[in-house]
């Protein structure tokens, strides 16, 4: 049986780090599955497989098709699928509709969405409707155009305070884990120590509870 979001949540402060890798296809999932706690069907597929400049062109149909492919062979790892840009930001109701579609059509174990404090209501709604959510803070690829590029987070006191509140908001909303991307090492470490859910680092601190 595959590992569950509750299994991942319970790995907070575990002796062994959580192992997460991205998988976009059935062959990739077959190779990686046995070695991972988490497999992420990430919207980075836009750049990795489709030659896009960023993640913004990935659609629901694309992510669902690849999510299905991964789910056909994954037997061990918990499988989480990214919610694409435009599929959840405008309202909690839209997020719920699209998260339900992803879960229903792929059979995955949970969804991931970007954002902190502004996503608290949305995450709470999804979790309240039995949709496990992994959050994503720090550098957020879906915000690359708005922010004028890929920029490291946590460089000043204001950013640090915002990131800490983002993490607390996500925790309150019921997310089972949070990805911290592109964030100054000591800040990611501080976030990890401030919340009771696992942190998964990507270009962040080795002190996170796991790594992508």
Compute the distance between CA of residue 121 and CA of residue 113 in angstroms, rounded to an integer.
Answer: 13
Compute the distance between CA of residue 47 and CA of residue 142 in angstroms, rounded to an integer.
Answer: 12
Compute the distance between CA of residue 208 and CA of residue 210 in angstroms, rounded to an integer.
Answer: 5
Please check whether residue 205 is in contact with residue 186, taking contact to mean a CB–CB distance below 8 angstroms. Answer: yes
Which amino acids are annotated catalytic? 181
Helix (H, G, I), strand (E, B) or coil at 148: coil
The stretches of the chain forming alpha helices (DSSP H) are 5-9, 26-32, 45-48, 60-73, 92-106, 120-128, 144-147, 157-173, 185-194
């Amino acid at each position: 049986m595959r590992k569950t979001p509750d299994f991942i949540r319970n790995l907070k402060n575990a002796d062994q780090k959580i192992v997460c890798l991205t998988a976009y296809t059935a062959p990739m999932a077959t190779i990686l599955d046995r070695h991972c706690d988490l497999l992420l069907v990430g919207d980075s597929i836009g750049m990795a497989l489709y030659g896009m400049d960023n993640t913004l062109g990935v659609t629901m149909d694309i992510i669902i098709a690849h999510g299905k492919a991964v789910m056909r062979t994954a037997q061990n790892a918990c499988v989480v699928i990214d919610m694409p840009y435009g599929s959840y930001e405008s309202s909690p109701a839209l997020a719920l509709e699209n998260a339900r579609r992803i879960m229903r059509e792929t059979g995955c174990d949970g969804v991931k969405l970007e954002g902190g404090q502004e996503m608290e209501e949305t995450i709470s709604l999804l979790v309240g409707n039995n949709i496990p959510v992994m959050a994503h803070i720090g550098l957020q690829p879906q915000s690359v155009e708005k922010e004028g590029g890929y920029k490291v987070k946590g460089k000043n006191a204001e950013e640090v305070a915002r990131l800490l509140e983002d993490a607390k908001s996500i925790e309150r909303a019921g997310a089972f884990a949070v990805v911290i991307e592109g964030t100054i090492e000591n800040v990611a470490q501080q976030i990890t120590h401030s919340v009771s859910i696992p942190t998964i680092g990507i270009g962040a601190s080795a002190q996170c509870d796991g790594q992508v």
